[in-house]
Structure 1
Amino acid sequence: MTETRQNPRIRYDEGCLAAHALNVVGDRWALLVVRELMLAPKRFQAIRHGLPGITAAVLTQRLTQLSGAGVVTHDAGLYGLTDSGRGLMPVLQAACRWGALHPGHDPRRFISPTALVISMTAMIRGGEGPVTAGLSMGTEAYTLHLARGVLRPAAGQADADFTLSGDGNSLARAVYGPVPLADLARDGVIGLAGDPRAAQDFVDLFRLR
């Protein structure tokens, strides 16, 4: 598919590089649209499912703008990211770490599967591995490979040492909360298959603060 690049819509008339970046991805919802595409291409409705507060009209606008800026691709009904779009992963990770330092975060609000996984890549602390974790969240599934303190996610299910299942919010509670996985599984908050000790050791690597 041939990509066309257009000048970003000018909102900040400055020569600052940060302002230029915000001219590209600074519109409301734009960076969160990129977030939803960071780990795998998706169809329009799947993107919208991960952004329940966005309207179809606004999502269409953002996808059009991001496509024109060379950030998003669209082919055969699937939206994905260009190399430029994937280059925003460190920006999303830095935003997660920065946000964790500020009060007011409410984990009871909606957390998409992709948002959870990206936050995990940002908030992991230590862990040499190797460990392979599976996350099954409805229509989305991810395999997380931990080695030398770095967590690398891949879309889809593969052989894993253990698999945690639930929605984004219940698994965020499992990963970041104080309640042991065995208790959450016993109470039906999450599903847990595979090695329970490896699973608990894995989630113990994550802290919000």
Structure 2
Amino acid sequence: MSKQAEIPRLRYDEGCLAAHSLNLIGDRWALLVVRELMFAPKRFQMIRAGLPGITASVLTGRLAQLTQAGVVEHDERLGIYALTEAGRAVLPVLEALCRWALIVPGHDPSRFISPSALMISMGVNLIRDLPPERRALAGFSFGNEAFEMQLAGGKVQTRAVTRPAAPFILSGNGNQQAMAVYGPVPLPKLVAGGVVGVEGDIAAAGEFLSLFRLERQA
């Protein structure tokens, strides 16, 4: 790496804390790279699969910048990229951006949705004021990625897994599963139409998905 590449580029010459944050993670694609690593370390091509509009050279540059900023760490021997503690702390920023997007026009849910993007959005769009004693465990399979989502205490906790161990597992790509989570079509009809698959208790799956609303919440 050249000497020049090792020096973080100053984008905003201000003492503002927000400007300092943007100096580190404000370039195009940077926050979305962080999004793709939020639940699990990944290799280069798997990160790129979640960002279909990015070129290999741009992704290489963003990963280098985020590594220099202390947001990402790279295991060169294994070829794996992972978030640092500082990188994982960006999750509330991504969640806040999701909430803000609900109050401005123009969102098009027909565009590409990555598995990580859907998991983060579900954490944002869970119905509020659920009874704290309500519990549930859900599984989501996207082919090369899978997650378990645990509902407890009125919140969801999501983790990447090799194979979900849950009463039901929803399967499909990000957009298909987003239709099941947020769309108006009942889950059994989506399953019958081949839009998504459900392994296990379809009634429990439908009940769980009914807890999410893609709308502004107080």
Partner in structure 1 of residue 108 of structure 2: 106
- For 1:57 and 1:205, the matched residues in 2 are separated by 40
- RMSD over aligned Cα, in angstroms? 1.1
Partner in structure 2 of residue 141 of structure 1: 146
1:112 corresponds to which letter in structure 2? Answer: S
- Cα deviation for residue 140 of structure 1 reads 0.5
Equivalent residues in 2 for 1:49-198, closer than 5 Å: 49-75=49-75, 76-126=78-128, 127=130, 128=132, 129-156=134-161, 157-198=163-204
2:135 corresponds to which letter in structure 1? Answer: P
Higher mean alpha-carbon deviation, 11-20 vs 151-160, is at 151-160
- For 2:25 and 2:176, the matched residues in 1 are separated by 30
The answer on whether the counterparts of 1:71 and 1:82 sit within 8 Å (CA) in structure 2 is: yes
1:181 corresponds to which letter in structure 2? Answer: L
2:45 corresponds to which letter in structure 1? Answer: Q
Partner in structure 2 of residue 15 of structure 1: 15
- For 1:112 and 1:159, the matched residues in 2 are separated by 22
Number of matched residues?
Answer: 204
- For 1:8 and 1:83, the matched residues in 2 are separated by 19
Higher mean alpha-carbon deviation, 195-204 vs 80-89, is at 195-204
Distance 1:58 1:161, change over 3 A: same
- For 1:100 and 1:28, the matched residues in 2 are separated by 21
- Cα deviation for residue 8 of structure 1 reads 3.5
- For 1:160 and 1:99, the matched residues in 2 are separated by 31
**Which runs of 5 or more structure 2 residues have no equivalent in the other structure?**
1-5
Higher mean alpha-carbon deviation, 18-27 vs 91-100, is at 91-100
The answer on whether the counterparts of 1:38 and 1:86 sit within 8 Å (CA) in structure 2 is: yes
- Cα deviation for residue 113 of structure 1 reads 0.5
- For 2:104 and 2:7, the matched residues in 1 are separated by 34
The answer on whether the counterparts of 2:140 and 2:164 sit within 8 Å (CA) in structure 1 is: no
The answer on whether the counterparts of 2:72 and 2:81 sit within 8 Å (CA) in structure 1 is: yes
The answer on whether the counterparts of 2:37 and 2:47 sit within 8 Å (CA) in structure 1 is: yes
State the Cα deviation string for residues 46-99 of structure 1 (Å, max 9, x = none). Answer: 000000000000000000000001000100200000000000000011111111
**Which runs of 5 or more structure 1 residues have no equivalent in the other structure?**
1-5
For the pair 1:206 / 2:208, whether they are aligned, the reply is: no
State the Cα deviation string for residues 102-124 of structure 1 (Å, max 9, x = none). Answer: 11111110000111001111111
- For 1:93 and 1:8, the matched residues in 2 are separated by 26
- For 2:202 and 2:64, the matched residues in 1 are separated by 45
2:151 corresponds to which letter in structure 1? Answer: L
Partner in structure 2 of residue 3 of structure 1: none
